[in-house]
A and B are shown apart, each in its own frame.
Chain A
Amino acid sequence: MKTVLSLTVNGVAHDDVIPDNMLLVDYLREKTGLTGTKIGCDGGECGACTVLIDDRPRHACLTLAATCQDSRIETVDGLSRDSRLTALQRGFNEKLGAQCGFCTPGMIMASEALLRRNPDPSEADIRDALAANICRCTGYVKIIEAVQFAAQELASGELAS
């Protein structure tokens, strides 16, 4: 069965005919060609597929694309503007928040959701917000420093995204 899906992805409007059984992560990667969002597990365990749906972090691997009618989807692919990284992306770069990099898109989107809600998070707030995102390389300390770096940059007036 098929559905006509209308939504925006990173600010761009899309109208697509998609099968009802298509997961949002497959829609993003295969229909829109945005491969930043990763598939790391067989459903909801790792957080690598975290995207923002109407500003809220959710798993694209446990969301049927056809349930996202009229939604605003944001992925890691859409963050930087005019080749300039956002504060969060710079944080992950500066603080070595990414090693193999596979979890990074999910980490960045979950952190992005946090900083929009709470621009001045404590370390505990950051740990809470990233609890559903698993990283097998960094030991998390560098990821937390990356988010703190971004929060500081934002507080000092740098552009977010």
Chain B
Amino acid sequence: MELLPDLKLHHPRSVEDAVSLHAAASSGRYLAGGSDLLVNIRRGIEQPESLVYLNNIAEMQAITEATGQISIGGAVTLRELAESAPVRQHFAAVAQAAGEVAGPSHREYGTLGGNLCLDTRCVFYNQSEWWRSANAYCLKNRGEICHVAPGGKKCFAAFSGDVAPALLLFDAEVELAGPDGRRRLALADLYRNDGMDHLTLGQGELLVAVHMAKPSEAVHSAYAKSRVRGSIDFPLAGVAVRIAVSDGKISDLQVGLTGVSPLPFLVRKLDKFIGRAADDACLEELRDAVRGQAKAMKTTFTPPHYRRRVAGALAQKLAASFF
């Protein structure tokens, strides 16, 4: 365990103040619940000189509904998200994913923004300072080689936030604020396939809120994850499914994945299932399609082939529950 570096903690009351305090600091980070960032700081992975605390900003703490729309503030806690009535009603997978993050005490202070901006994870990276130093560190932090793929120059650390794949099902947009003002971005475009630099956030940008349109009543969704301990663990593979079945035929289908690559993503080429009979053959094909795109690397103690297979199996199981 490392001591926290000497740092200045700022307590802004507005998004604009948070952005300017961040801009004024030489090496500042946004701090929400701290359940990811403070662990990394304590492990010597990050040593910021200042932290800009986001949980006193009223604008970021609200869940608001307008006709057909919902907006969820970046500092809404995972417990609030999991318990929110409109989220449970229209975006079941999102509420379920939030309720599956870590353990109940983490969900009391871990936030949506922190979950979406979570650092990527790898068994060679999420370790104490002495562990990493004994292993000559790695590409992602201070080292020269990647222990997962030693020949290459790429980091495969996996994005492991549970909520992002569920939000992707609903074409969520994120509202960002930075030194140049505010902008909106498709959540899918917040991420890139690079374990060392997986967020496309600009310098000093923060996530103010997530916006989504409510889907039709016919759409169902659910989230499930595989993890080593059922009580508390990051996903080895996390799967969110959105589906509608009418007259025995699939009329809407999306699958979001997390934990299997440096970014959360929607499984591609699922159009071929639209109009198909919702039967066992279709479920097996869906399982194989998901498995084929879940290209997990050796970033956990659990081997990649298990994570690939379990991703397919979870998608099959979730879809079957709506047939």
The answer to whether A42 and B9 have CB atoms under 8 Å apart is no
Query: Which A residues lie within 8 Å of B33 (CB)?
Result: 62
Check A66 for interface membership: any CB of B closer than 8 A. yes
Chain A contacts of B202 at CB under 8 A? none
Residue pair B102, A132 in contact (C-beta under 8 Å): yes
- The reply on B149 being an interface residue by CB < 8 A is no
Among the listed stretches A6-14, A15-23, A73-81, A149-157, which one makes contact with chain B, having 4 or more residues with CB under 8 Å of it? Answer: A15-23
Find chain B residues with CB under 8 A from A21 CB. 3-7, 9
Report the separation of the CA atoms of residues A32 and B279 in the bound assembly, to the nearest whole angstrom. 63
By secondary structure, the B interface counts as loop
B105 touches A59 (CB 8 A): yes
Q: Please determine whether A62 and B39 come into contact, CB atoms closer than 8 angstroms.
A: yes
Given A63-B34, A63-B109, the answer on whether A129 and B104 have CB atoms closer than 8 Å is: yes
The smallest C-beta distance from A63 to any residue of chain B, in angstroms, reads 7
With contacts A67-B55, A131-B232 taken as known, whether A58 is within 8 angstroms of B34 at the C-beta atoms is no
- A57 contacts B39, C-beta separation under 8 Å: no
Majority secondary structure of chain A interface residues (helix, strand, loop or mixed): mixed
Q: Which of A63-102 contact B (CB under 8 A)?
A: 63-64, 66-67, 69
4 closest Cβ pairs, A-B complex: A132-B103, A131-B231, A43-B39, A21-B4
- B66-107 Cβ-contact flags toward A at 8 Å (1 or 0): 000000000000000000000000000000000000111110
Which residues does chain B contribute within 8 Å of A110, judged by CB atoms?
A: 104-105
Nearest residue (CB) in A for B55 is: A67
Instruction: Tell me which residues across on chain A come within 8 A of B232, comparing CB atoms.
Output: 131-132
Is A121's CB within 8 Å of the partner chain B? no
Chain B residues lying within 8 Å of A124, measured Cβ to Cβ, are none
Interface residue count on the B side (C-beta < 8 Å): 30
Beta-carbon contact of A132 and B231 below 8 Å: yes
Question: Is A142 interfacial (CB-CB < 8 Å)?
Answer: no
Q: Confirm or deny: B189 has a beta carbon within 8 angstroms of a beta carbon on chain A.
A: no
Name the B residues within 8 Å of A22 (CB-CB).
Answer: 4
Contacting pair B8 A132 (CB below 8 A): no
Instruction: Determine whether B108 belongs to the interface, using a CB cutoff of 8 Å to chain A.
Output: yes
Q: How far is it, in angstroms, between the C-alpha of A42 and the C-alpha of B4 when the chains are bound?
A: 12
CA of A58 to CA of B105, assembled, Å = 5
Whether B102 lies near A20 (C-beta < 8 A) is no
Chain B residue with the shortest CB-CB distance to A22: B4
B193 within 8 A of A: no
Mark each residue of chain B from 30 to 53: 1 if its CB lies under 8 Å from any CB of chain A, else 0.
Answer: 010111001100110000000101
Size of A's binding interface in residues, CB under 8 A: 29
A44 touches B1 (CB 8 A): no
Residue A20 contacts which of B9, B38, B105, B106 (CB distance < 8 angstroms)?
B9
A-B contact pairs, 13 of them (CB 8 A): A1-B7, A20-B8, A42-B128, A43-B42, A44-B35, A47-B103, A58-B109, A63-B34, A64-B31, A64-B53, A129-B104, A131-B231, A132-B232
Kindly provide the distance from the CB of B214 to the nearest chain A CB, expressed in whole angstroms.
Answer: 29
Extra 11 A-B pairs, beta carbons < 8 Å, given A21-B9, A58-B105: A3-B9, A42-B39, A43-B43, A44-B39, A44-B102, A57-B104, A64-B53, A128-B104, A131-B104, A131-B231, A132-B103
Contact digits for B1-41, partner A, Cβ 8 Å, 1 yes 0 no: 10111111101000000000000000000010111001100
A64→B38 contact, CB < 8 A:
yes
Instruction: Check if B108 sits within 8 Å of A56, measured CB to CB.
Output: yes
Q: Chain B residue with minimal CB distance to A41?
A: B1
User: Are A20 and B103 neighbours in the complex by a CB distance under 8 Å?
Assistant: no
Distance in angstroms between the alpha carbons of A64 and B31 in the assembled complex: 10
Q: A128 to B102, alpha carbons, bound, how many Å? A: 11
A104 within 8 A of B: no
In B96-128, the 8 Å CB interface with A consists of 102-106, 108-109, 128
* Chain B positions within 8 Å of A128 at CB level: 104
Task: Please measure, in the bound complex, the distance between the C-alpha atom of A59 and the C-alpha atom of B109, giving whole angstroms.
Answer: 9
Q: Kindly provide the distance from the CB of A141 to the nearest chain B CB, expressed in whole angstroms.
A: 15
With a CB–CB cut-off of 8 A, which chain A residues contact B11?
67, 69
Check B34–A62 contact: CB distance below 8 A: yes
Q: Are A50 and B7 in contact (CB under 8 A)?
A: no
Q: Which residues of A contact B39 (CB under 8 A)?
A: 42-44, 62
Separation of A50 and B108 alpha carbons in the complex (Å): 12
Q: Which residues 49-65 of B have a CB within 8 angstroms of A? A: 51, 53, 55
